[in-house]
Structure 1
Amino acid sequence: MKTTIKSILILAVGVSAASFTSEIIEKVSVKSSSISWEGKKVTGNHEGTIQLKDGFFQMEGDAITGGEFVIDMSSINVTDLEGDSKGQLEGHLKSDDFFGVEKFPSAKLVITKAVKKGNTYAVTGDLTIKDTTAPVTFDLVKAGNTLSTLLTIDRTKYGVRYGSGSFFDNLGDKAIYDDFTLDIKLTL
């Protein structure tokens, strides 16, 4: 009997403590959020979009303390080409030469630290592409219910080396730069 009462008291204290925590989960609107990408090569660039599959921020009061975001890699869309050229580039980006979407259908960003400076957060996180995780840092700006950033990613850190002058010689004007950018706008 004493063990049962003690267990109930411990459970009650635990539940009470959990109810007073100020950390909340703030879901991101997938429909209202957007991610645009740009990749550059010696002879020009390509642009497109990719869809957010799911995401949330961990909040303490009105401050971001963490978060997690999943990107649907099968949604890679090229916006600067049309017709066969568009389809060919989308297919190539989804192939094993680049993001291997059939085997790796999503990418994930986990925010591990966010330091608030006015309406900007200095963010540290772990980005996973093709089952390879590497740290990233970026500034995230909050304006009302929208958070935005321009994130530069070195694709070679995630095993995406196709056409990289850092790994292949004599590419000439076929070289593709290692960095690509994501222009991210998240709506709460």
Structure 2
Amino acid sequence: MKTNFLNILFVAFLGLAVVGCKDKAKEAETTDAETVAETTAEATKYSVDAAASTITWKGYKPTGSHDGTIAVESGVVTVKDGAIESGTFLIDMNSITVTDIPAEEEMNGKLVGHLKNADFFDVEKYPSAGFEVTGFENGNLSGNLKLKEKTNNITIPVTVTESGDSVTITSETFTIDRSKWDVKYGSKSFFDNLGDKFINDDIELKITVKANKS
């Protein structure tokens, strides 16, 4: 009976592990910064609609997770023959919110403050992050992502939808390894002996950008 019970537990654990692996977002391919894409006269220029654009984030630790949003402050993107040709986007790091804790709860403000301070994104010193397009091929958008003082090139799958005088760029859910941008707090990439107090390096992101013809 004991052996059967242990077998059932093992099968249940294996099933959970398979589901967890299946649901885990893929890390964006990350390389050194690359040359920024140029704009041609034939491309259509769009200006970002900040109110209709957003970035959602999710961070994990052994005891659970937190999620929230970050605003796209501004940007310009050019499209030619249904493909992204070039683009520059500014991200407002002061706009970080936490959505899994009610806004009126004290812990919400504490977590937002912690994310904004020097432990994480140091928004007083680095109020903006940036993304510059370096290429677009087979539905994969590449660009230089600058966070704090670090710039790395990432490649993410996106869908480009043109409708009338607007274009919407929607990414699949993906992750970036924050340690590659020197976001160090609670990271096992920088600190030993954290035990179960560490915070995962992977940050899960999903980006939606809407832009209108300039």
| TM-score normalised per structure 2 | 0.73
Name the Cα RMSD after superposition. Answer: 1.5
- 2:118 — aligned with what? 96
**Paired residues for 1:15-54 under 5 Å:** 21-54=41-74
- 1:184 — aligned with what? 207
- 1:60 — aligned with what? 80
2:141 counterpart of 1:123: yes
Contact 1:108 1:128 in 2 (8 A): yes
Contact 2:82 2:160 in 1 (8 A): no
- The structure, 1 or 2, with the larger RCO (C-alpha pairs under 8 Å, 6+ apart) is 2
- 2:191 — aligned with what? 168
Pick which of 152-161 and 94-103 moved more. Answer: 152-161
Post-superposition offset of 1:113: 0.5
- 2:100 — aligned with what? 80
Which of the residues 125, 134, 141 maps onto 2:159? Answer: 141
Q: Which has the larger radius of gyration?
A: 1
What are the superposed Cα offsets for residues 17-58 of structure 1, whole Å, 9 maximum, x if unpaired? xxx930232112111112111011111100001111002212
- Of all paired residues, the percent bearing the same amino acid is 42
The DSSP-based 3-state class of the residue aligned with 1:93 is: helix
2:132 counterpart of 1:132: no
Contact 1:22 1:61 in 2 (8 A): no
Higher strand share: 1
- In structure 2, distance between residues paired with 1:58 and 1:146: 12
2:136 counterpart of 1:108: no
- In structure 1, distance between residues paired with 2:55 and 2:190: 28
- Look up the equivalent residue of 2:154 and give its one-letter code: V
- In structure 2, distance between residues paired with 1:166 and 1:21: 45
- In structure 2, distance between residues paired with 1:43 and 1:166: 19
Pick which of 149-158 and 38-47 moved more. Answer: 149-158
Which of the residues 145, 157, 161 maps onto 2:180? Answer: 157
- In structure 2, distance between residues paired with 1:67 and 1:151: 20
Unaligned runs of 5+ in 2: 1-39
Q: For this pair of structures, how many residues does the alignment match?
A: 165
Post-superposition offset of 1:61: 3.8
Contact 1:110 1:126 in 2 (8 A): yes
The change in CA–CA distance for 1:95 and 1:159 in structure 2 (over 3 A counts) is same
- Look up the equivalent residue of 1:43 and give its one-letter code: T
- In structure 2, distance between residues paired with 1:151 and 1:31: 22
| TM-score normalised per structure 1 | 0.82
